[in-house]
Structure 1
Amino acid sequence: MTFTHRLYRLYHFGLRLAAALLPIRTPHVYAGQQALSQWLCEVKKQNLRTLLVVSDPGIVALDLQQPIIAALHQQGVNTVLYSDVEANPGIPC
């Protein structure tokens, strides 16, 4: 076994160890009629000041993101809108 091979094995062992020890955050999914208010309570609890809102140009053209941005502004949260993403991107073969 060469020195480089052993170094790579040690590196991968370190990555596996770190993955086992570091906490993995699970996403929270808010659904239903009260989803927005529940999410806003979580935003307020975390004392967030600025949020990045990511959307696509079609959603922005229909102005569907505006109620969420308005609710965030009511809570005193600044928003930055990024809409330069491809809607439903395909997977190249």
Structure 2
Amino acid sequence: MPFVKVYIHLVWSTKNRVPYLNSKELRLKVWNHVRENAQLKGIFVDFINGYSDHCHCLISLGVDQFIQNILQLLKGESSFWINKNKLLSSD
């Protein structure tokens, strides 16, 4: 039986590319949360990093997973988590 492994490089930005993730500490919190949340959802995150206005995430796609669902789970939930925990200063 052949073995196929599909890796997807996801990149998403902050709203309007505003540099909300402007400290290394905040970025590490967010990246760790994305990784932990992905693990709970059965998504394998091989690598995650980024800068103040965007995120790069390398994932391995399972046979029953779809890119649009994965992106919604990672991007949408992380945004919700950031807002819920008030991690951004209101300027």
TM bin, normalised by shorter chain, reads under 0.3
Structure ranking higher on relative contact order (CA contacts 8 Å, 6+ apart): 2
Q: Would you tell me which structure has more helix in proportion to its own residues?
A: 1
After TM superposition, the score normalised by the length of structure 2 is 0.26
After TM superposition, the score normalised by the length of structure 1 is 0.25
Q: Would you tell me which structure has more strand in proportion to its own residues?
A: 2
